[in-house]
């Protein structure tokens, strides 16, 4: 084989290697960059319950209808929507609705607990000091909320503050609470 033929063979092999590497990189990245949207499986997370100090993971709520709220104590719209979340919890908590508000404050959990206590919130408030839930849920700000069905799939994503005890919102949660899981359980 002459040198010109060797160059062509090496160029062809190099091209195949480059294309293969690009395809493998694209496949690998696809698994990491799936959009979080309705119909997506809710990503797992880990945070500290500010009332108990226990570590909580999403799997603790498996089979439940969950309103997952990402917020911070310095966020005025977050503070505005919290009373409506409390009223929704008082109305539908006895029927099984779980409200999980995950603070992404840089401060320690004690500050978050005091903030929660001052407002009389009784639903689950967690603290993710690292803020990794923001990345996991592709959140772009505060507050950002996700309604998760009993099957673990995201039903709706809400940007900004909402009036969670509005009759239309209550109807959504009541309908979800009445659904059965794939194994036939309520």
Q: What is the mean pLDDT of residues 156-181?
A: 95
> What whole-number percentage of the chain has pLDDT above 90?
77
pLDDT in tens, 85-114: 999 999 999 999 999 999 999 999 999 999
Domain 46-178, CATH class in plain words:
alpha beta
Arithmetic mean of pLDDT over the chain: 87
Token reading at 113: 């607990």
Query: Structural domain boundaries of the chain?
Result: 1-33, 46-178
Q: What is the pLDDT of residue 15?
A: 38
Query: Which has more confidence, 57 or 15?
Result: 57
Q: What is the pLDDT of residue 159?
A: 97
Quick one: which of 43, 46, 47 has its CA closest to 127? 47
Task: Work out the pLDDT band at 183, boundaries 50, 70, 90.
Answer: low
Q: Half-sphere exposure (CA, 13 Å, Cβ side) for 172?
A: 15
Rounded Cα distance, 185 and 164, in Å: 26
Are the CB atoms for 98 and 65 separated by under 8 Å? Answer: yes
3-state secondary structure (DSSP) of residue 17: helix
Contacts of 181 (CB under 8 A, 6+ apart): 63, 150, 151
pTM check: above 0.85? no
């Amino acid at each position: 084989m002459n040198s010109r033929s060797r160059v062509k063979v090496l160029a062809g092999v190099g091209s195949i290697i480059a294309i293969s590497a690009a395809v493998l990189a694209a496949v690998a990245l696809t698994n990491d960059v799936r959009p979080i949207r309705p119909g997506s499986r809710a990503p797992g997370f880990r945070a500290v319950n500010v009332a108990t100090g226990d570590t909580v993971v999403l799997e603790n709520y498996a089979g439940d209808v969950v309103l997952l709220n990402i917020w911070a104590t310095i966020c005025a719209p977050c503070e505005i929507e919290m009373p409506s979340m409390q009223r929704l919890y008082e109305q539908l908590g006895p029927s099984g609705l779980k409200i999980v508000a995950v603070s992404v404050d840089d401060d320690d959990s004690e500050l978050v607990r005091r903030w929660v206590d001052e407002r009389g919130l009784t639903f689950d408030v967690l603290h993710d000091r690292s803020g990794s839930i923001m990345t996991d849920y592709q959140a772009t700000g505060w507050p950002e909320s996700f309604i998760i069905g009993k099957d673990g799939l995201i039903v709706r994503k809400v940007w900004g503050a909402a009036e969670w005890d509005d009759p239309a919102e209550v109807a959504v949660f009541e309908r979800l609470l009445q659904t059965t899981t794939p194994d036939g359980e309520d």
